[in-house]
């Protein structure tokens, strides 16, 4: 009997070690991916910042052109309108680039935090309770588009499925590192369609963040914000 108990205990310990090793391996793989994403986002931020600097210079030049034309009698009304329209066009580009730059800068901060948390996890620090697995009521902006996410957490890996207003449905895959969630939405018809970045509030629990489309030319919004609230699963009746 003692030998049986010892054998069973050894199996439990061995199984726990295997699971722990698998979790560490998964964390290391995600750490490598996160470092690549950090490098990619840093390059994108540099490019957007360069474009923003050029657009600001162009805006200043267009504004000067309007100001100069306003004091000249040889500049007609049509020319004034054309110059003002040029200012409005560049202003819109500047606004778009400013928003894109802000989102990228926020994402870089989140990536650095994610890397630090992954490094801590690999070093053997404990993992908080799972408050992610379950059903989530989601609202996606712009348009107050509603969805339901059903997800589960295994280590740092998140997987699940979703339904979205408009007849969309499919699968979800991603990672949770600390409070930082990254989800890829794979539509049953469109394929890989968008990426969700969010921060988990464990006290709620709630999630809030941004999303971006990976499909273009559909006429729909390409980026926006989203929020989610975890719902209690309803028990099925007899």
198: CATH: 2.40.128.120
Residues 156 and 211 in one domain: yes
Rounded mean pLDDT of 55-76? 86
Is the pLDDT at 151 greater than 90? The verdict is yes
> Which residues touch 145 (CB under 8 Å, ≥6 apart)?
139, 164, 165, 166
Same domain, yes or no, for 68 and 90?
Answer: yes
117 and 43, same domain (yes or no): yes
Residue 128 has pLDDT above 80, yes or no: no
Name the residue with higher pLDDT: 195 or 124: 195
For helices 77-122 and 2-70, give the axis angle rounded to 10 degrees: 160
- Give 184 or 107, the one with higher predicted confidence: 184
Within this chain, do residues 184 and 216 fall inside the same structural domain, yes or no? yes
- Which residues form the domain of 41? 34-122
Choose from 15-29, 91-105, 222-236 the range with maximum mean pLDDT. 91-105
Verify that 103 and 41 share a domain, yes or no.
yes
The predicted pLDDT at position 16 comes to 47
- The pLDDT value given to residue 238: 41
> Could you give the number of structural domains in the chain?
2
CA–CA separation, 217 and 191 (whole Å) = 15
Residues whose CB falls within 8 Å of the CB of residue 107, separated by 6 or more in sequence, listed in order: 41, 197
Percent of the chain with pLDDT over 90: 37
**Quick check: 45 and 105 in contact, CB under 8 A?**
yes
Is there a domain that residue 182 lies in? yes
Question: Is 16 part of a structural domain of the chain?
Answer: no
Residue 214 placed within a domain = yes
Q: Would you place residue 8 in the very low, low, confident or very high pLDDT band (cuts 50, 70, 90)? A: very low
């Amino acid at each position: 009997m003692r030998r049986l108990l010892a054998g069973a205990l050894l199996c439990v310990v061995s199984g726990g070690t295997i699971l722990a090793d698998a979790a560490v391996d998964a964390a290391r793989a995600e750490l490598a991916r996160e470092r690549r994403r950090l490098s990619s986002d840093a390059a994108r931020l540099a490019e957007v910042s360069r474009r923003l600097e050029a657009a600001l210079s162009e805006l200043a030049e267009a504004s000067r052109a309007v100001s100069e034309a306003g004091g000249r009698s040889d500049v007609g009304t049509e020319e004034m309108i054309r110059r003002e329209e040029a200012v409005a066009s560049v202003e819109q580009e500047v606004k778009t680039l400013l928003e894109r730059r802000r989102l990228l800068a926020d994402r870089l901060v989140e990536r650095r935090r994610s890397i630090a948390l992954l490094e801590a996890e690999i070093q053997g620090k404990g993992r908080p309770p799972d408050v992610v697995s379950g059903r989530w009521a989601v609202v996606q902006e712009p348009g107050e588009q509603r969805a339901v996410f059903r997800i589960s957490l295994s280590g740092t890996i998140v997987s699940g499925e979703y339904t979205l207003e408009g007849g969309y449905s499919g699968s979800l895959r991603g990672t949770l590192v600390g409070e930082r969630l990254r989800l890829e939405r794979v539509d049953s018809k469109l394929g890989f369609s968008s990426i969700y970045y969010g921060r988990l509030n464990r006290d709620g629990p709630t999630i809030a963040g941004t999303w971006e489309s990976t499909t273009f030319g559909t006429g729909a919004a390409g980026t926006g914000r989203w929020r989610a609230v975890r719902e209690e699963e309803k028990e099925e009746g007899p």
